[in-house]
Amino acid sequence: MIEHLDLALVNWSRAQFALTALYHWLFVPLTLGITFIIAFMETLYVKTGDPEWKKTTKFWMTLFGINFAIGVSTGIILEFEFGTNWSNYSWFVGDIFGAPLAIEGIMAFFMESTFIAIMFFGWNKVSKKFHLLSTWLVAIGSNLSALWILIANGWMQSPVGMHFNPDTARNEMIDFWEVFLSPIGINKFLHTITSSYVLASVFVIGVSAWFLLKGREQLLAKRSIIIAAIFGLVSSMFLIYTGDGSAYQVAQKQPMKLAAMEGLYEGSEGAGLILLGMPTPGKEINDGKDDYVFKFEIPKLLSFLGYRNADAFVPGVKDIVEGGFEYEDKNGEIQIAISALEKIEKGKLAINALSDYKKAKELEDLVKQEESLIIFRENFKYFGYGFLNDPESIIPNVPITFYSFHIMVALGFWFILLFALVLFFIFKDKLIGKRWFLRLAIITVPLAFIASLSGWIVAEVGRQPWTIQDLLPTVASVSQIDASAVQITFWLFTLVFTALLIAELKIMFKQIKIGPKEGGH
Amino acid sequence: MKKGSIFKRIFLFYYEGFKNMTVGKKLWFIIIIKLFIMFAILKIFFFKDFLNNKFDTEEEKGDYVIEQLTKGL
């Protein structure tokens, strides 16, 4: 099938989706995290009655409002793209996506929209406790909205709980709980929200550091820094835990992604985790070149993290393409991995069987229908491979995945150090005098966004060529539309989103400069 | 002060909230422009639903996707 496709169409469609998803994600994590920080501050206001806490709460609420207003509904564009550019994919996923997205839409509308109005308009109009409850519900509601999106994304990374209907060419959910409680989806949700808490904490510390540098709003800044640093530090611990869980799931379900994250071409037992390294540029399997130009690694750690066994074999890119290594299946039995070429052959058998089944159905040939279905079901787990011709096309972009992963991890550890140092300087009462550190805290704010976006690049680039792991590659997911139409909307989105980003930054900076004040938002 | 009906109170809650906005007015202006671009321009002219636009029934859509997935082998 691949030769019938316009690769320009596939690439432009991918670029457009990546652009809109990344821009959308610039707005989301701050909302997910800062709402909890605001809720903590308002809780302290309600408990103490101290008007400075109210002023602090309202100031951060205004910044949240700016981010929320500019970012709201940017995600709807992704849904437009599903229907227009990715129609085969949208049809193929069937109701697996429909149910979580519908729940997300209803929850987001009722939980967020209703309680956000009370949060902003309700001061002095509803009781303090009801206002506080609304603030907490905004925080919880926005995080629950993310839950459903991430469960849907988790299903794409590891499709479970469904049955493919060959009559309609759609997947049908047969076990909601298997989809909802998929370990890869749950880990993804927890890792994503905790990373958002860390990002919001860095944001609050950075803005507060600016006030301290300017000698303004010192009480507000110090209190905000303490809350954000404690929240950020606790979230970071949980982030490491969920990151470990995510890596373990990736090792089990998406070993190619793990190999790309570590730039590992040749697998080994007792594989080390790369602390710092540079994959060999232009490296291909079987070219005889070393995997890395240089590397510093922690011995055996990758094996331990991926398989809970320091001596376990971690397959590299080459092993996954060529097969032949032993692995433990979900029933705990040892299996020999088959090669990508064999998977491609099985995938083609499944596609042919689907075609034969459809023809036999038209001819009302019941025997042929049954025969075709047996072949189809035997080979369905490799269905997506049938759209590929070259075994090496299952390799994602290794350098992008490797560097994104290592940038994300390195920055994550820098944020932990930042939170710890902030608390250390606060308790030693030396923070205001450390001007170099305050400047560093401001510079760290954009780094938190870079880390967050890098995480998504690892998750999505690392699982290429798949839109649905093993079942549907990007080349088979796109609609047959004109590539030039996709190019036009790509540039249109670049324009619209950049304008929105500039608007957000301008309004946000202006509001920070104005600082906290009483009155409306 | 005599309280009006629940609907009137909800209306007044939102009305007064919007009226007393400061930063919010500018943000609502951006939101309205953004939603107009998204729904009145992008959705109508650039993002028609491919399958809904091409076919009337679910069966036709399914047949088309199967044809797309199985052609060329």
Within a domain: residue B25? yes
Evaluate whether B15 touches A444 at the Cβ level (below 8 Å): no
Does the beta-carbon distance from A169 to B62 stay under 8 Å?
yes
Q: Which residue of A has its CA nearest to B66?
A: A169
**Side chain identity, residue A336:** I
For residue B10, the Cα-to-chain-centroid distance in whole angstroms is: 23
Does the beta-carbon distance from A169 to B69 stay under 8 Å?
yes
**Is the Cβ of A92 closer than 8 Å to some Cβ of chain B?**
yes
Does the beta-carbon distance from B26 to A496 stay under 8 Å?
no
Please measure the distance between the N-terminal and C-terminal CA atoms of chain B and give it in whole angstroms.
Answer: 77
**Is the Cβ of A114 closer than 8 Å to some Cβ of chain B?**
no
Residue A207 has what pLDDT? 97
Q: Is the ipTM of this complex over 0.95?
A: no
- Helix segments in A51-86, DSSP class H: 51-71, 76-84
For residue B46, the Cα-to-chain-centroid distance in whole angstroms is: 15
Residue A5 has what pLDDT? 60
Residue B3 has what pLDDT? 57
Smallest Cβ–Cβ distance between A84 and the set B47, B61, B72 belongs to B47
Cα pseudo-dihedral A12, A76, A202, A240, rounded to 10: -80
Identify the residue among B49, B55, B61, B73 best suited for mutation to test binding to A, counting A beta carbons within 10 A and taking the highest.
Answer: B73
**Is the Cβ of A398 closer than 8 Å to some Cβ of chain B?**
no
Within a domain: residue B59? yes
Residue A308, exposed/middle/buried by CB under 10 A (0-12, 13-18, 19+)?
exposed
Q: Which residue of B has its CA nearest to A82?
A: B49
Q: What angle do CA A35, A37, A42 make, to 5 degrees?
A: 90
**Is the Cβ of B33 closer than 8 Å to some Cβ of chain A?**
no
Evaluate whether A98 touches A478 at the Cβ level (below 8 Å): no
Measured distance CA(A123)–CA(A191) in Å, rounded: 34
Evaluate whether B65 touches A92 at the Cβ level (below 8 Å): yes
User: How many residues would you count in chain A?
Assistant: 521
Residue A299: Cβ within 10 Å count: 12
- pTM of this structure: 0.91
Number of domains observed in the structure of chain B: 1
Domain of B62 in residue numbering reads as 6-70
Does the beta-carbon distance from A88 to B69 stay under 8 Å?
yes
Low-confidence ranges of chain A (pLDDT < 50): 1-3, 519-520
**Is the Cβ of B30 closer than 8 Å to some Cβ of chain A?**
yes
Measured distance CA(A482)–CA(A466) in Å, rounded: 22
Smallest Cβ–Cβ distance between B17 and the set A66, A120, A511 belongs to A120
Nearest in space to A386 (alpha carbons), one of A333, A434, A439, A349? A349
Does the beta-carbon distance from B58 to A168 stay under 8 Å?
yes
Nearest in space to A379 (alpha carbons), one of A352, A357, A358, A339? A352
From chain A, pick out residues whose CB is under 8 angstroms from the CB of B73: 1, 348, 351-352, 355, 386
Evaluate whether A390 touches A284 at the Cβ level (below 8 Å): no
Evaluate whether A261 touches A401 at the Cβ level (below 8 Å): yes
The residues facing A292 across adjacent strands are: A279
Measured distance CA(A373)–CA(A355) in Å, rounded: 10
**Alpha-carbon distance A54 to nearest alpha carbon in chain B (angstroms):** 18
Smallest Cβ–Cβ distance between A500 and the set B13, B34, B63 belongs to B34
Q: What are phi and psi of B49, to 5 degrees?
A: -65, 120
Does the beta-carbon distance from B22 to A351 stay under 8 Å?
no
Evaluate whether A122 touches A58 at the Cβ level (below 8 Å): no
**Alpha-carbon distance A80 to nearest alpha carbon in chain B (angstroms):** 6
Identify the residue among B1, B38, B59, B65 best suited for mutation to test binding to A, counting A beta carbons within 10 A and taking the highest.
Answer: B65
**Is the Cβ of B72 closer than 8 Å to some Cβ of chain A?**
yes
The CA-atom distances, in angstroms, between B55 and each of A165, A457, A480 are 20, 35, 14
Residue B46 has what pLDDT? 79
Residue A518 has what pLDDT? 59
Within a domain: residue B1? no
Identify the residue among A121, A348, A509, A512 best suited for mutation to test binding to B, counting B beta carbons within 10 A and taking the highest.
Answer: A121
Does the beta-carbon distance from A352 to B70 stay under 8 Å?
yes
Q: What are phi and psi of A269, to 5 degrees?
A: -80, 145
Q: What are phi and psi of A155, to 5 degrees?
A: -65, -35
Interaxial angle between packed helices A7-48 and A435-461, expressed in degrees from 0 to 180 and rounded to the nearest 10 = 140
Within a domain: residue B58? yes
pLDDT tens-digit map of B23-66: 777 788 888 888 888 888 878 887 888 888 888 898 899 999 99
Size of interface A-B (CB pairs under 8 A): 127
